[in-house]
Amino acid sequence: MIFATLSHTARYERLGPRFARAFEFLHDTALAELAAGRHDIDGDKVFAIVSDYQTKTVEESRWEAHRRHVDVQCVASGSELIGVAPLESLALDPYDEDNDILFASGDGQFVALVPGQFVVLFPEDAHMPGVSVAQPAPVRKVVVKVSV
């Protein structure tokens, strides 16, 4: 996992051209003005999903991970806690190949994610997004999916 601010993305663009495209999109796009839904950046290799939702309690949330994509998650408005844990430290449900997701249970750590910050979550990083900081609140988040 990487946790950083958008002002430092040049360091992480070196992860490869797909990451460079993802960070370019996050820098050059008015995220608050995007329509909710999918936005292709480079077809299925790099695309963004814009979501508007209410944060939830930890008890209402689940751990998840992906095998075919790295998530670059960036809050455009609002704030949330996002849980992170090594995938191997959790009890795993069966992998859903069609939707590239597996769910898990267990414990991890949480970081607050506010506008201007991002996390990069690799396949070995389980994550629990959308958790309330204090009470349920609206959030707009952009998740750029980078295929691996």
Domain that holds residue 93: 2-147
Instruction: Please tell me the predicted confidence (pLDDT) of residue 135.
Output: 94
> Structural domain tally of the chain?
1
Instruction: Please tell me the predicted confidence (pLDDT) of residue 108.
Output: 97
Return the DSSP state at 7: G
**Interval 54-61 mean pLDDT:** 97
**Interval 132-147 mean pLDDT:** 97
Instruction: Please tell me the predicted confidence (pLDDT) of residue 131.
Output: 98
| Beta-sheet strands, E only, within 87-123 | 91-92, 102-105, 109-113, 117-121
Average pLDDT of the chain is 96
Structure tokens at 131: 């958790």
As separate numbers, helices (DSSP H) first and strands (DSSP E) second, the chain gives: 2, 12
**pLDDT tens digit string along 81-126?**
999 999 999 999 999 999 999 999 999 999 999 999 999 999 999 9
Instruction: Please tell me the predicted confidence (pLDDT) of residue 83.
Output: 98
Q: Could you tell me the CATH number of the domain that includes residue 118?
A: 2.60.120.370
**Interval 57-63 mean pLDDT:** 97
Q: In what order do the strands lie in the sheet with 91-92?
A: 91-92, 102-105, 63-65, 125-131, 80-86, 109-113
